[in-house]
Amino acid sequence: FFRLDSAQSDRLAEVLHTIHLADSVRGQAGNLSHGQKQWLEIGMLLMQDPKLLLLDEPVAGMTDEETERTAELFLSLKGKHSLMVVEHDMSFINTISDIVTVLCDGSVLAQGTLAQVQADERVIEVYLGR
């Protein structure tokens, strides 16, 4: 075990509140739901106060409620951190993002609003095979 100083303790309380786990602080991580475990991972990143968070499919396997709460979490981070999210749930992406970038073979294929990239003929061809 280790002791936290006052500033660390305050920061931990802030992060636990941000990631919706303040009420679970005394429990074991193994008893958390899949979504809560994802939030715990994000919390560990936030404890380091990064400028950029790189997140790969953060809502994969989450319930609808967990996905909604994750969107709220990400929106609460705007202005404090930059987020780069790789995700296939377009409803989630539409909720959290103003600009969407579609990559193909490591290059930018399209960029714009979700509606713009979904209507882009190159995106349709590459990802839907039409």
CATH 3.40.50.300 fits 6-97, yes or no: yes
Instruction: Write out pLDDT tens, residues 101-123.
Output: 999 999 999 999 999 999 999 99
Interacting residues of 125 by C-beta distance below 8 A, sequence separation 6+: none
Instruction: Write out pLDDT tens, residues 40-53.
Output: 999 999 999 999 99
Instruction: For residue 81, count CB atoms less than 10 angstroms from its CB and return exposed for 0-12, middle for 13-18, buried for 19 or more.
Output: middle
Interacting residues of 73 by C-beta distance below 8 A, sequence separation 6+: 18, 19, 20, 39, 42
pTM of the model: 0.83
Question: Where are the domains positioned within the chain?
Answer: 6-97, 98-130
β-strand pairing of 100-104 with 107-112: antiparallel
Question: What whole-number percentage of the chain has pLDDT above 90?
Answer: 74
Give the model's pLDDT for residue 51: 95
How far, in Å, CA of 43 to CA of 24, rounded? Answer: 13
CB-CB contact of 25 with 56 (8 Å): no
